[in-house]
Structure 1
Amino acid sequence: MTSHRATLIGFVAVVLWSLLALLTVGSAPTPPLLLNTICFSIGGACGLIWTYFSGGLGVLRSVPIRVYIFGSLGLFGYHALYFSALRLAPAAEAGLIAYLWPLLIVVLSGFLPGEKVKRGHLVGALIGFAGAVLIISGGGSGFEMNYLPGYGLALICALTWSSYSVLSRLVGQAPTQSVTIFCLVAALLSLPLHLVFEETLWPQTNIAWISTALLGFGPVGLAFFVWDIGVKHGDIQLLGAASYAAPLLSTCVLVLAGVAPLSPTLGLAALLVTGGAVIAARASLNSDD
């Protein structure tokens, strides 16, 4: 596979992740852990089929158990938090806070061995978090206390995925097929927790079922496979830059779909979160900073 083709494949993940918030809203009222169970079961089943035809299931036996544990907990934790956040707060606003993860990846990677935190990282972080503060404060409409739990979960969600992404460099390499096991284990973790802590509410309408199925096939399934291919075989810097567009794209999708109203506060917050990530990324690429 050429680097150019792998990069194009990786771009698919960014497009799919921009649909995550919209499809999560469409899947309501299914509770987060049940949604995790359904979506990761779909993603894992598709992964098994692809793994079988792309090289055989035997490749999965060569992956260290620590990689499976780490990857499964990362996917499980991020999506359980994300789905919960969007059930408790407005989708566009909670989604933007959750999409602080590209910015946090850049900042946290500065603490890895051989790396350092630069001035541009701190400036970008301040700008990005200013966007989050604008959302939480409510902008011109004022502070909404009832949304605070959702916003808090969205922030933990961003910290979870960024920490997972940075620490994954220390865990070890694994073939793309290992994402199949990540999905299946995430589903197995979600099911008993759902039965203990949640009321079982299956999707109630055709739209909800379609949204749930598309979540499993796309943002919670295929996206992780194509992203893995992209970052391993394509232009990782170009893909990293593309990921900073995800919060802006996600917000645009919600507005165009009529799920979120277009407001000055939402637009400014989207620009701050995206702009902060871009500034931090430029600091990483600038050796003189």
Structure 2
Amino acid sequence: MTTKRATMIGFVAVILWSFLALFTVGTAPMPPLLLNAICFAIGGSLGLAWIAKSGGFRQLKSVPLWVFGFGTIGLFGYHILYFSALRLAPAAEAGLIAYLWPLLIVLFSGLLPGEQLKRAHILGAVVAFAGAAMIVQSGGSGFQIEALPGYALAFCCALFWSGYSVLSRKLGDVPTAAVAVFCVTTAFLSLALHLALEEPQWPSSALGWASVLALGLGPVGLAFFVWDIGVKKGDIQLLGTSSYAAPLLSTLILVVAGVATASWVLALSALLITVGAMIAARASVSSDT
């Protein structure tokens, strides 16, 4: 597989994750751990079915146990933070903060051996973080102090997923089939914690259940397999920087669906986060030419 093809496959995940906020809102009032368990059970089952059909179980025998632990922590940690953030803060604003991860991937990958961090990377980070600061300060309809825990969790999401993605680069020899195991173990871990910490609540409509299924099939299913291919075999900096479309797509989807209200603060925040990632992207592209 060529680097270009792997990068394009990885970008499919960005498209799928653009619907993550919308589908998450649709699953309310399901608590985060229960939602994690069900969605990853769906995604993991699809992955295991694919492995069985392709004969990929043989590849898993050589995978160290610590790698399964790393993958489980990555998937579990990011999504419990994300689902919790969108339960505690407005979806569009929390989603934009969480979508600082493409920029952070560029910054963190610049610290890898053989890579370098340029001034433009730093400038891009400042611009993007200015957009995130606007959200925290103003929100969609005025400052909402009760939403601060949600905003904090959303920022932790960005840190968590960017760090996980860059560290995954070190696991280039681990087969993508291992992602199915990550999903299944994440589902079991989430279920155990749900039973210990949460009271079950279920969607009250067919649309709510459809949102759960859509999450499991796409943003919390197929997305991880194509993303794994992209970060391991593709151009990780180009993949991270091309993901600048994610915050705009996600926000636009929420506004069109009527979940978020269009406002100049929301639009400017999305623009700053996107422009910041684009500035960093230009620096990465220029360093490869």
- Determine if the TM-score, normalized by the shorter chain, exceeds 0.5: yes
Q: Does 1:213 align with 2:210?
A: no
Alignment deviations for residues 108-129 of structure 1 (CA, whole Å, 9 cap, x no partner) = 2222233332211110111110
Gaps in structure 2 of 5+ consecutive residues: none
Q: For residue 64 of structure 1, report the CA deviation from its aligned partner.
A: 1.8
Give 1:16-35 correspondences, 5 Å limit.
16-35=16-35
d(CA) in 2 for partners of 1:118, 1:285: 11
Q: Give the structure-1-normalised TM-score.
A: 0.93
Q: For residue 164 of structure 1, report the CA deviation from its aligned partner.
A: 1.0
- Contact 2:238–2:281 (Cα < 8 Å) also in 1: no
195-204 vs 205-214, which deviates more? 195-204
Question: For this pair of structures, how many residues does the alignment match?
Answer: 289
1:17/1:57 CA distance change after superposition, 3 Å = same
Q: Does 1:107 align with 2:107?
A: yes
Give 1:1-289 correspondences, 5 Å limit.
6-138=6-138, 141-171=141-171, 173-233=173-233, 238-287=238-287
Corresponding letter in the other structure for 2:278 = V
- Contact 2:238–2:284 (Cα < 8 Å) also in 1: no
d(CA) in 2 for partners of 1:83, 1:200: 15
116-125 vs 38-47, which deviates more? 116-125
1:4/1:127 CA distance change after superposition, 3 Å = closer
1:185/1:233 CA distance change after superposition, 3 Å = same
- Contact 2:85–2:153 (Cα < 8 Å) also in 1: yes
Alignment deviations for residues 221-277 of structure 1 (CA, whole Å, 9 cap, x no partner) = 101112223444556555334312111100010011111011100000001111111
d(CA) in 1 for partners of 2:232, 2:172: 13
1:201/1:193 CA distance change after superposition, 3 Å = same
Q: For residue 146 of structure 1, report the CA deviation from its aligned partner.
A: 0.6
Corresponding letter in the other structure for 2:45 = A
Alignment deviations for residues 121-157 of structure 1 (CA, whole Å, 9 cap, x no partner) = 1101111100110000116843210100100000011
Q: Give the structure-2-normalised TM-score.
A: 0.93
Corresponding letter in the other structure for 1:283 = A
75-84 vs 168-177, which deviates more? 168-177
Among the aligned pairs, what percent are the same residue? 67
d(CA) in 2 for partners of 1:30, 1:50: 28
Corresponding letter in the other structure for 1:61 = K
Q: For residue 92 of structure 1, report the CA deviation from its aligned partner.
A: 0.4
Q: For residue 212 of structure 1, report the CA deviation from its aligned partner.
A: 0.4
Gaps in structure 1 of 5+ consecutive residues: none
d(CA) in 1 for partners of 2:8, 2:143: 41
Q: For residue 172 of structure 1, report the CA deviation from its aligned partner.
A: 5.1
